[in-house]
Amino acid sequence: AGPDLKVISTMSVGFDHLALEEIKKRGIRVGYTPDVLTDATAERSVALLLAACRRLPEALEQVKNAGQARGMCATGDGSAGMAAGPSSLSLLGQAVARRLKPFGVKKFLYTGSRPRPESDAEFEAEFVPLTRLAEESDFVVVTCALTPATQGMCNKDFFSKMKKTSVFINTSRGAVVNQEDLYNALAQGQIAVAGLDVTTPEPLPTDHPLLSLKNCVILPHIGSATYATRSTMAVLAANNLLAGLRGEPMPHELLL
């Protein structure tokens, strides 16, 4: 856009797609849309978890091919009595835990930069190191932000510590996961199944190895894809942009 660019408004809560150092250097203001897509993203996270662990895409393919599930075919795991491990009790992590609790999940583990005692009581959650979260969780749901500390966090070492029956869900950012290591973990049976709504890159090339696996469910980053949420995000993005152009405070400005 050249030197005349004064304002950027992104219709997203994430901003890792922005060249923040260059933006800061040029004094460009940035508006974004936090807090309005948490519920929609949490719903998608739980839907993806259920689809993955109950093998719904495989069952759908059977219906399309005039097949019928017999015996142990397309049999998966339920959630009752299981332990779930949101990677953080951020707003999204809390929203996911709040939705999983009625399914009978008996224990919540979480990790992150610090414990959140205000949330521990609501979910009977326990703050643990990342290693223990991997070792003890039946469901690992990645809900953290992408930072230098979390980039590539879910790698070969992480997957090797997970249970062979565990389910891995990523609804944060694709770069949190080493996708080659995830492919190997799934293909070699180190973990049971994965569900991804975010990948690197987006979209994945159609010949990507992860797309060849029956035990990997991949969605096209549709966490905020409800009519109400997308409309709210669009209005907020427009209002951020207009306020920035007028030199006024934005409803939600990213402070660099």
| Residue range 25-58, pLDDT digits in tens | 999 999 999 989 889 999 999 999 999 988 888 8
Beta bridge partners of 83: 107
Per-residue pLDDT at 60 = 84
**What distance in Å separates the CA atoms of residue 115 and residue 61, rounded to the nearest whole number?**
43
Q: How do residues 151-181 score in pLDDT, each as one tens digit?
A: 999 999 999 999 999 999 999 999 999 999 9
pLDDT for 81: 44
CA 202 remoteness from chain centre: 14
Residue (of 126, 222, 142) closest to 182 by Cα position:
142
Q: Which domain holds residue 93?
A: 39-218
Concatenate the DSSP letters of all residues of 202-241 into one string.
SSPPTT-GGGG-TTEEE--S-TT-SHHHHHHHHHHHHHHH
Give me the mean pLDDT over the 230-243 stretch. Answer: 97
Q: Is residue 221 among the annotated active site residues?
A: yes
Helical pair 227-246 and 38-53, crossing angle rounded to 10 deg: 140
Determine the pLDDT at residue 87.
75
Same domain for 79 and 124, yes or no, is yes
Given a cut of 50, whether residue 72 has pLDDT beyond it is: no
Q: Catalytic pick from 17, 208, 221, 252?
A: 221
Q: Which amino acid is at 68?
A: Q
Same domain, 118 and 177: yes
The answer to whether position 68 is within a domain reads yes
* Same domain membership, residue 180 and residue 158: yes
Q: Residue 56 corresponds to which tokens in the numbers above? A: 């719904």
130 Cβ contact partners less than 8 Å away, ≥ 6 residues apart:
87, 111, 153, 158
User: Residue 246 is inside which H or E element, if any?
Assistant: helix 227-246
- Is pLDDT at 73 greater than 60 in this prediction? no
Number of structural domains (the chain) is 2
Q: Do residues 120 and 246 share a domain? A: no
Q: Is residue 178 part of a domain?
A: yes
